[in-house]
Structure 1
Amino acid sequence: MSGATTTPTESSIPEFKQIMGHPSPLWMLFMTEFWERFAFYGIRWALVLYIVAQFHGGASTGEADANLTYGSYLALVYAAALFGGYVADRILGYQRSILVGAAFMAAGLFMIAYPDPTIFKLGLATIITGNGLFKPNISTMVGKLYKQGDARRDSGFTIFYMGINSGAFVAPILTQYLAQYVFGSGDTPAYKIVFIASGVGMLISLVWFYIGRNVLKGIGQAEPEAASPARIAYVALGCLAVIPMVFGLLAVGAQTLQGVLTVLFLLLAVMLMVEGIRGGKVVRDKTIAMLIIFGFNILFWMFFEQAGSSFTFLAENIVNRDFGGWVFPTAWFQSVNSIAIITCAPIVAATWVWLSRRSADPSIPRKFGLGLIFNGLAFLLLMFALSSLVDANNKIPFWTLFMVYVIQSVGELCLSPIGLSMVTKLAPVRLVGFGMGGWFLSTGIGNNLSGIFASHVSGESGMSVASALSGYTFGFWSLVGGGVLLFLVAPLIQKLMHGVK
């Protein structure tokens, strides 16, 4: 089948009005992603707490199941991007894929507000299916706004990443306030309000992109032979058929899901390599470099994504959140990462530019290595707190978990926005959307492993100081070891990248 999306060449990229030194469509995509991330992060803080409260009667023995469900949900969210990228590349085009995906995500968010375990998982499956069409394709479109070699590309992705984190910052604060103080009792949050508010945010994202897509001047539109409205109907029906399959994957458990994801990753690697070999030695080598970095990406997200699982139970049960009678809400910890990203992103972006002007900009592999090491330092702080700062009530100081989120955020800035940009530079030209799906699949594998890891941290009876210390010690050594290894092999990877920076 011929490609469904018009792929602009260097000469066919439209001339865009520049706003703050970047193409104007970047800011439309920024706000589209803002509202989508509002929806995504609006439910992030509540999912594991809701599962324990609603389906396990509030018993701490439900923590392990909640962690596994959360990890599997996140894994499938990112794994679905693999298929969403392919649908956009070959069938529907980027713009229409984003619109269809947004509609399904909104429907799923409203579904999980219904307090039934089957409907809840069907709702999660619907969100996953929609996100697969939305997430990789909007990121790919950011890359298509810039010509190859444009020095603004990395900073453009960093600005886009700030849009992600602006939505992620607002969402936990607003949804927690609505659920607990406007529609809840003050003591017990009305979790369904969290999910409904997030659904409204997703509808705003859908409408914003539908109205604003004209500024793209054809970027991401379907090719004429693929522009038939019938294709939208076919993809929508395909999504409806996929939802029960995703529901089944959620139901089989994280261990079985890990096997499925591993097979998918191997298939993706083979398909990308076949395309890379067809493109010649340079394209082949770039594809190999990209796949190696995907492996380290798995390690990073396995431990970073404790934020929505084991760190939530840590905050709820082991962190001292009492400030003289006012208790810092557990949900608000989810906004710390976003505050740190928004604050530090311009600094990190400016640092890369400053170093580049002096021919000292770290290579992509070394930026990834820094990301792993900073993530490891966050776990080192937890090791110190859990071994030396536990008070008589088995609580650790508030500032320690707060700073863990900040340190992790610095690591994220070294890795995640650079990774999105990397895929647009290294993936075979005909399969850039598919390559972006591979990036999200590797993230998904890390997220599934994060749920498995978090379930071990909580154990069968719920998280304790001892179980947390043991688990987070393992996290520290794994991350620092991975970061050091990546620094050592960075010259080899950089050689395979053939000058891509």
Structure 2
Amino acid sequence: MSGAATSIQGQAPIPEFEQRLGHPKPLWMLFMTEFWERFAFYGIRWALVLYIVAQFYNGDGVGQAPANRVYGAYLALVYAAAIFGGYIADRVLGYQRSILLGAAIMSAGLFMIAIPNEQVFKFGLATIICGNGLFKPNISTMVGKLYAVSDERRDSGFTIFYMGINLGGFLSPILTGWLAEQVFGTSAMPAYKMVFLASGVGMLISLFWFWFGRRQLEGIGRPPADSQGKQKVLYVFLGALAAIPVVYFLLALGAGTLQWVLLAMFVALCGLLLFEGFREGSAQRDKVIAMLIIFTFNILFWMFFEQAGSSFTFLADQIVDRQFSGGFVFPNAWFQSVNSLAIIALAPIIAWIWVAMRNSNPSIPRKFGLGLIFNGLAFLLLVVVLTPLVVPAMGLESLPSWLKWAPSVSPGSAFAAAPGKIPFWSLFMVYVIQSVGELCLSPIGLSMVTKLAPVRLVGFGMGGWFLSTGIGNNLSGIFAGEVSGEKGMSTATALTGYGFGFMVLVGAGLLLFLIAPLVQKLMHGVK
């Protein structure tokens, strides 16, 4: 098959790339670049909150809530930074240079967080955020630029690229967990420093992989001819350095104050989209309203989904029975690989189900509703296995009034593991069930935005999607802080928090199912 592609009108022709396995050769270079970047990003995910408590709170449970809030704020700012990173690549630096500069800055941040000083650690997180903002949105854009819009291989190319993301996310917790708990430390005292150093090395591999492989792109992603000089690289680099203290300040504000900042940005962005929608007529106005409704439910989804790097990590550390026969202890880090493994295994099945349903294929709002409900069912499983630990020890009166139903769905001691613990398989299945919810919701999000946002403001629509996800991530840290309580997580605080999560998610999912016909009507035929 020829690699030549006819670009859309007004854009430079797409080069005739050499083909590898039916796709342009540069796709595989971008695949491995993203693999190593995700290796670095997910490599530290499991260790951050545990490290904060161990290093800066001497292992005291009182550090869990602030650690959760820092983690949520960190994720939120990663998504917010992506908005600015995409703009810089589009208008200033070009995609190739943005990716290279972002990778270099991100590498520096990963090595910084290995230094056992709280201020340096937070500056390191701020540096990772700024680097990721330049890298993450632009590497995905590069994949799209390898294909013409009408190229039938385009979707499968993104699917291959998505596998790179999940392979990196699958392997990095396994390797970094092994290094921290088996090679340089123990399960009782992991060597978190090695996690951060290994992730930094992974990011350097990503940097050099793209540096040497970018010639394959044959000019795609380079800046315009009148901006080929390296002066703008220096300006953006200095701007990124200046942004790091600003991001550090936002982290230092705390998740509560940051939430107001993010909400103000979100309201302003929504106002701009609505104004443009009204300006373009009733149909576009309705589409914008439908998109904003979906954004609201998207916030709720990620608020509870992103417990993986926060409260679920403490749950695995303290309340999950990870002891197997023969003395093997399942590393906490390895739970982080379950989501990626489930995505790789289940994505083709979910895609086949949507195709097989044909005319009965759920609408976009109902797929979002399914995503929320599956996320909620994962929390229901935690309620089922935690209830037998809490009620016999503390009594039914220990449960809040809205959680009195929990004993009726719990099979008593049938799920008992070690004393005071829940079985290993329960948390494993929580990640799997959540992954089903993610597959119902996440893949269609960006596609939906391109179809519903005003033509002149599609970029702002994408920004709204990322910002709603970021707000959800920040709220996830606040929620995780409540789950941990004032003195650290207990079975009682976990049951109360996860019971609340179940009720909110399932309630929101059912509500979205009910109003789906209205939302679909506002979408004016967009599917």
TM over 0.5: yes
Q: Contact 1:39–1:199 at 8 Å: present in 2 too?
A: yes
Structure 1 counterpart of 2:161: 160
Q: CA deviation at 1:228?
A: 3.7
SS in 1 for 2:307: helix
Deviations 1:241-266 (A, max 9, x none): 11101111111111001001101112
Q: Contact 1:154–1:421 at 8 Å: present in 2 too?
A: no
Q: Contact 1:261–1:445 at 8 Å: present in 2 too?
A: yes
- Pick closer, same or farther for the CA change 1:237–1:17 going to 2, 3 Å: same
Q: Distance in 2 between matches of 1:71 and 1:104?
A: 21
Q: CA deviation at 1:182?
A: 2.2
Give matches, 1:419-438, under 5 Å: 419-429=445-455, 431-438=457-464
Unaligned 5+ runs, structure 1: 1-5
Structure 1 counterpart of 2:119: 118
Structure 1 counterpart of 2:398: none
Q: Contact 1:161–1:417 at 8 Å: present in 2 too?
A: no
Q: CA deviation at 1:410?
A: 1.0
Give matches, 1:482-501, under 5 Å: 482-501=508-527
Structure 2 counterpart of 1:3: none
The more displaced of 425-434 and 412-421 is 425-434
Structure number with greater Rg is 2
- Pick closer, same or farther for the CA change 1:78–1:342 going to 2, 3 Å: same
Give matches, 1:74-93, under 5 Å: 74-93=75-94
> Which amino acid is 1:253 matched to?
G
Deviations 1:331-377 (A, max 9, x none): 1111111111111122223333444xx34433322222221111111
- Pick closer, same or farther for the CA change 1:204–1:296 going to 2, 3 Å: same
Q: Distance in 1 between matches of 2:483 and 2:259?
A: 18
> Which amino acid is 1:82 matched to?
I
Structure 1 counterpart of 2:95: 94
Structure 2 counterpart of 1:385: 385
- Pick closer, same or farther for the CA change 1:82–1:180 going to 2, 3 Å: same
> Which amino acid is 1:373 matched to?
I
Give matches, 1:256-275, under 5 Å: 256-274=257-275
> Which amino acid is 2:331 matched to?
P
Unaligned 5+ runs, structure 2: 1-6, 389-414
Structure 1 counterpart of 2:429: 403
Structure 2 counterpart of 1:351: 353
Q: 1:448 aligns with which of 474, 480, 483?
A: 474
The more displaced of 376-385 and 260-269 is 260-269
Between the two proteins, what is the percent identity of the paired residues? 72
Q: Distance in 2 between matches of 1:212 and 1:189?
A: 36
Q: Distance in 2 between matches of 1:432 and 1:145?
A: 20
Q: 2:343 aligns with which of 341, 344, 352?
A: 341
Give matches, 1:47-446, under 5 Å: 47-148=48-149, 155-185=156-186, 187-274=188-275, 276=277, 284-324=285-325, 325-355=327-357, 358-388=358-388, 389-390=415-416, 393-429=419-455, 431-446=457-472
Q: CA deviation at 1:206?
A: 1.8
SS in 2 for 1:368: helix
RMSD: 2.6
- Pick closer, same or farther for the CA change 1:371–1:267 going to 2, 3 Å: same
Structure 1 counterpart of 2:403: none
Q: Distance in 2 between matches of 1:281 and 1:19?
A: 47
Q: Contact 1:83–1:434 at 8 Å: present in 2 too?
A: no
> Which amino acid is 1:401 matched to?
L
Structure 1 counterpart of 2:31: 30
Q: CA deviation at 1:231?
A: 1.6
Q: Contact 2:321–2:418 at 8 Å: present in 1 too?
A: no
Count of matched residue pairs: 494
- Pick closer, same or farther for the CA change 1:15–1:268 going to 2, 3 Å: farther
- Determine which structure has greater relative contact order: mean sequence separation of CA pairs < 8 Å that are 6+ residues apart, divided by chain length: 1
SS in 1 for 2:362: coil
The more displaced of 109-118 and 285-294 is 285-294
> Which amino acid is 1:365 matched to?
P
SS in 1 for 2:448: helix
Q: CA deviation at 1:76?
A: 0.9
- Pick closer, same or farther for the CA change 1:21–1:281 going to 2, 3 Å: farther
> Which amino acid is 1:237 matched to?
L
Q: Distance in 2 between matches of 1:253 and 1:23?
A: 45
SS in 2 for 1:306: coil
- Pick closer, same or farther for the CA change 1:390–1:464 going to 2, 3 Å: farther
- Pick closer, same or farther for the CA change 1:409–1:71 going to 2, 3 Å: same
